[in-house]
Structure formats: structure tokens, C-alpha cells
Structure 1
Amino acid sequence: MTSGEMGSLLIIGAALLDQLIGDPIRILHPVVVMGWWIRQLRCRVEQWAGDHPTKLRCGGGLISLILVLGSAIAGWCLERLLWLPSPWQWLGVAILTVGLASALAARSLTDSVLAVLEALPARDEGDLETARRKLSWIVGRDVQSLDQAGLLRAAAETASENAVDGVFAPLFWMGIGALLWMVMPAGPGPLALAWAFKASSTLDSMLGYRTGRLRWLGTAGARLDDLLTWLPCRLVMLTLPLVCPPWSRWAQRVQAAERDGATDPSPNAGRSEAIYAHCIGIQLGGENRYGDRVVQKPVLGADQPTASLGLVRRVLNASRRLELLWISALLMIQLAIIH
């Protein structure tokens, strides 16, 4: 078996493992380790830079370089286990499969969104505190003032936006790594690239805020995350309509998503939500509250119905079908290259 073929099998195994068990609670997750390093490095940089914008920007760039490069090297070192003589090679396969699964969040995202839906009362006027609490675990917005319609919209938005960040972007970089192995077996592969992306995503989630020192400290991480997510996001825009019939509306949906999503300040978040809005037929966007700050997000799919239980579940089901399509496409690309 060639290294490229091994890469594809590892990705399939990781996707299955992620769908089956998600993120085990009792096992140390790589993202937790990345988060620990970010906190330690941030403390050192802030002690040195104080409130000086230029120093904070430089320090943020250094944090990004250390974390992303370090994560890639750690993944690359683990990949070398594959080339140990048998029976140790199978231990390498198991370790790499678990490592790749740790970069995917399909099961955890689905479970988190479904937990919010299941906590909603049967009637609109019921107790919403449980649903609000569970939603607060997966979104950054203020949830205390949300009614049932607001909770459903927030659940749909996080399911569509985080599908790109948590599933398709890492899956894309895994695929690039598997293809690289076909031409450079000893080079960085699926795990190295997936963990490098995960490091940039973790940097953005922890430092990518426009408040206080983070306005400068988090710039490098946020820009890198935007860059690494740019192409996977556009590929989601192009492929999601293929798993959401009718296919005759492919061009119309892609154009509408680009039109709506381009108005969002983020180069990726608005577009990822917009393509789901137009493929599923659900209205997203509007007013969000972050503490004392109110943000008016662009309305996506303005002519579509507002979020409901059924529509949020359709968002999750569409992501599941699209993940299967992407993995199938990777296998077909490799077969075409081999033959």
C-alpha cells in the first residue's frame, strides 16, 4: 500500500471514529494542549509588550508561528510512526487515526446543537433556561435575552458556520496532506496539516477579538485562520448544493450565497452561513448581542422561513451528507492520479 493510499484510509477511519464517539471526555485533547500553550505564550508576550501596539502585533505573530509550526512538527513526528517495522506500524496507524479524529468536530457539533434543540420546551412559553445554558457552551453571543426563535436561529448559525471551521476545513487540509504523501512520502502529511490548521483555528477562537490588547495581539492568528479557511469555505459553497436537491438551482444558490455572504465583515463566516441558508431554505442573520455591544449581522436568505426544529436538523443532515461527498471525492481524485 502506498503512502497516499494509507493517507486516504486514515482519513476515512478518522471520520468514522469522529462520527462514532466524537471527543472523548477523559482523553487529553490536542486543542486543550494548544490552548495551554497559547495562554502561557500570551502571558509572556503581554509582560514584555505591555500596551504597546507594535510589540503586541509582533508578539502575536510570534505566538502564531510557534503554535502552528510546533503543531505541524508534532503531527509530522507522529506520522513517522507509520514507517516503523511491523507490528509497530499498526500502532502508528491507530495513533494517527485518533489524532486525525481529534481535528474533526462533526459529532461534537451535532451533539451540541441537538442538545439545545432537545432542551427547548414543547411550547414557546416554556422554560428556556436549560436551552440557553447549553447554547452558551457553543456560541460567543449573549444568550440570556434570546427567546425560542432566537435560540433556534443561533443553533442554525453555529451549525452552519462551525461546519466549515470544525469539519470541512480540517478535512480539506487532511486531503491535501494525503495528496502530498503521493509525491513526497517522507514529508508532512494529513496529521501535520490538520493540526497546523487546528492551531490557527484555536488561536483565532482564543485571541481573535477586537477588545483590549487582543486588537493587536490576536491579529496574526485571526488573519492566518481566515487564510487557511478561505479555500475550504469556497469549496463548501460550491459543493453543498450538490447534496441539497434540486441540482438545477446550483448556480442560483451559489450566486445568492456569495451576494449575501459578501456583506459580512468576515471573509468566511458569512459565506458559510449563507450557502446553508439558501440550500436548506432558512433565514439567518440579524441582531446579535455580545455583552453591552449589539452587532447587526446581515440577513441571509431574507425570503426564506425563520429557523425551526426541522430546519436546524436539516442543516446538520446536509453537513453529514457533504462530509461523505468530500471523502468520496478525495478517493476518486487519488484513483485518477494513480491510474
Structure 2
Amino acid sequence: MAEIRLFFIFLGSIGFDLLIGDPRYLIHPVQIIGFYIKKISDYFINNFRGNKKLLLWGGFILALSTIGISFSFGKLIELSYIQSKNNFFSGFLIFLGLSSCLATKGLISSVKEIAELLEKKEFDKRNERIIKEKVQRIVSRDVSSSSKEHLLRSTTESLTENSVDGIFGPLFWIFIGIILMKFSIFLPGPLSLGFTYKAVSTLDSMIGYKYDYFRYLGFMSAKIEDGFTFIPSRLVLITLPIVSFNFKDYLLIIKKSFLDGKKYESPNSGISEAVFAYIAGIKLGGKSKYKNETIEKPIINENGAICTRKKIKLICQLILKLQFLWIIIFILIFFIIPF
């Protein structure tokens, strides 16, 4: 019955993430993963930046080693917990580990704070600098010369995309891990798959770019992330309209979101941004600056309104409602459907 205990630990970790988030006094697993990625990627960049083939192989090695270490560490804790017959310390590590895989409170709190500052504070030089620093922490684009409207759009796009990477992606894979452990304790479990997904997501966010040497070093990481996020992003596409109670336009929203999302190079981020854009009635996409390069992203929901604090608040509410729906579905699948 180890999987039942793990399932309740999983539910508790969700509650902990919603109420507390990531405690600042604890080292976050992403910090450790990020430190490893930076050290190895810096080595390849500093020594082989002019060699495309070596950068590709370096990115392959970096991706596999990061994922392998993360998976193995999670699996070791799972086996320790099960084989020690409910050891409290191992169970507590799983609890904290699963909570660290989720980013609901951190993501929602940060974007709400930015939205409040943008709409309530005077946009003078001092406040502008503070706001841009906060926005820069959650986006990969350069916002140093962004207008107030562009800062709101950047924040909204980060929120809609990262809701999958930081919340629904890990939720999906953690649940898959719990189901797999119903068959064998030696199969991938919730913590090993949760850590794996965080490793994949961190790799993509740190080196999965399409410019300079990252185009080669981060190629493998970006492709792996596309694969891991493919199903969760499409589950968001078909379940988000349900919590918006827009049943009349359910199929139309899905169709429009899918068609607009397909315009993006990424097979996942465009779709997740599009479904939120259509339900919230906002327009996303357009020009964004990455280092010294300006990229024109495809427009999503051409007739939508501009991004505002009110729209960001609505999207945050939709994310929480959708997370609640997913938990209900997971509980039903786990306890009703026999495996």
C-alpha cells in the first residue's frame, strides 16, 4: 500500500505549496540543478564555443547527466522510504521534494506583485527600475527598454507559459509516478519523475535558447522538454475551458487556441498561452527583445484586449481552479479505476 501513502504525501505537498510555497531557508533542488548546469555549460561555452559539433555533444551529455542524476536521487529517496517501512525522515524528504517541484504560490505571488506595482505605482525612474528587475526575474527576454504595456504583456506571457512548466507539467508526471508504483516499487515514482521534470524544465530555461552557441548546446534539452511537456500542455488546452464555465464555446476555444498556438516554434508554449488568451480575452505575442536581437512572435487572439492587472488576476484564478480540477480527476482515477 506504499502508493496510497505516497498519494497522500503528494496531496499534502500540494497544500504546502499553495499555502507556504518554497521556504527561503531551505536549499531548493532547482538551485542545485542550476549550479550543475551552469558549471558544465560554462565549461563547454568557454572552451568550444566555435565548434558546433562539440557543443551539440556537450549539450547531449549535459542533458542526460542532469536528468540521470535528478532521477536517481529521487528514486533513491523513494526506495529508502518504502523499504524502511514508512521512515519519517524519508517521507518528509519526499514531502518537501514534491512540494519543491511545484511553483503555484511563487509564480502567482510574483506576477500579482508586478501587476499591482505597474498599475498602482507612478511609473517614475525609480519604480520603473524596481518593476523591470522583478519582471526580468521571470522572463528570458530583455525588458530593460520595455514600456508599461509591454511589461504587462511579458508578465502575462510568462504566467501562461510557466503555469504548465511550473505547475501542470510536474503535477502530471508526479501522478504518473504514483500510478507506476502501483505495479512495482522499482518503476519511476512520483519524486523521481517530479525531479526529472524539474531537471528538464531547468535545462530548457537555462540553455534551451535558439541564438548564439545555445542553439547547439541547448538543442537536446529543448527537444527533451518539448517531449515531456507535450501531453500536459494539451491537457491544459482541453480542461481549462471547463473551469471557465464557457461550455457554449468549448470546442471553438480549443480550435482557435490550437491554430494560434501552432504558429509558435515551440509545440507547447504557444498552445498554453493561446488557451489562456482566448478565455481571458487578451492579445498576446508581438515584438520582444532577446539580447541584441528583436523577435516578432506570432499574434495570439488578434481581437483580444491588452493585458491588465485585472486580466492577470483572472488568469491566476483560472490556474488555481484548474489545479483543483486536476486534483479531483487524479483522486477519481487513483481510487476508482482499478490497476
TM-score (norm. length: structure 2): 0.94
User: Aligned partner of 1:105: which letter?
Assistant: A
Inter-partner Cα distance in structure 2 for 1:334 and 1:4: 10
**Matched residues, number:** 337
Equivalence for 1:264 = 264
Change beyond 3 A, Cα 1:153–1:124: farther
Equivalence for 1:230 = 230
**Structure 1 residues 134-190: Cα deviation after superposition (integer angstroms, max 9, x where no partner):** 111111222232222222211211110100011000111001001101111332200
Gaps of at least 5 residues in structure 1 are none
Structural mapping, 1:92-241, within 5 Å: 92-122=90-120, 127-241=127-241
Inter-partner Cα distance in structure 2 for 1:295 and 1:117: 24
Inter-partner Cα distance in structure 2 for 1:123 and 1:66: 45
2:282–2:305 CA contact under 8 A, matched in 1: yes
Give the superposition deviation at 1:213.
2.3
User: Aligned partner of 2:18: which letter?
Assistant: Q
Give the superposition deviation at 1:312.
0.6
Equivalence for 1:31 = 30
Query: Which range moved further: 315-324 or 19-28?
Result: 19-28
Give the superposition deviation at 1:92.
2.1
Change beyond 3 A, Cα 1:146–1:124: farther
User: Aligned partner of 2:118: which letter?
Assistant: L
Equivalence for 1:294 = 294
Identity %: 31
Inter-partner Cα distance in structure 2 for 1:165 and 1:138: 12
Equivalence for 2:273 = 273
Give the superposition deviation at 1:130.
2.5
Indicate whether 1:73 and 2:72 are aligned.
Answer: yes
User: Aligned partner of 2:292: which letter?
Assistant: D
Equivalence for 1:61 = 60
TM-score (norm. length: structure 1): 0.94
Inter-partner Cα distance in structure 1 for 2:121 and 2:138: 24
User: Aligned partner of 1:99: which letter?
Assistant: G
User: Aligned partner of 2:162: which letter?
Assistant: N
Inter-partner Cα distance in structure 1 for 2:48 and 2:310: 50
SS in 2 for 1:289: strand
User: Aligned partner of 1:69: which letter?
Assistant: G
1:7–1:181 CA contact under 8 A, matched in 2: no
2:160–2:273 CA contact under 8 A, matched in 1: yes
Query: Which range moved further: 35-44 or 168-177?
Result: 35-44
Give the superposition deviation at 1:84.
4.5
Query: Which range moved further: 77-86 or 155-164?
Result: 77-86
Indicate whether 1:9 and 2:16 are aligned.
Answer: no
Give the superposition deviation at 1:71.
0.4
Inter-partner Cα distance in structure 2 for 1:207 and 1:164: 19
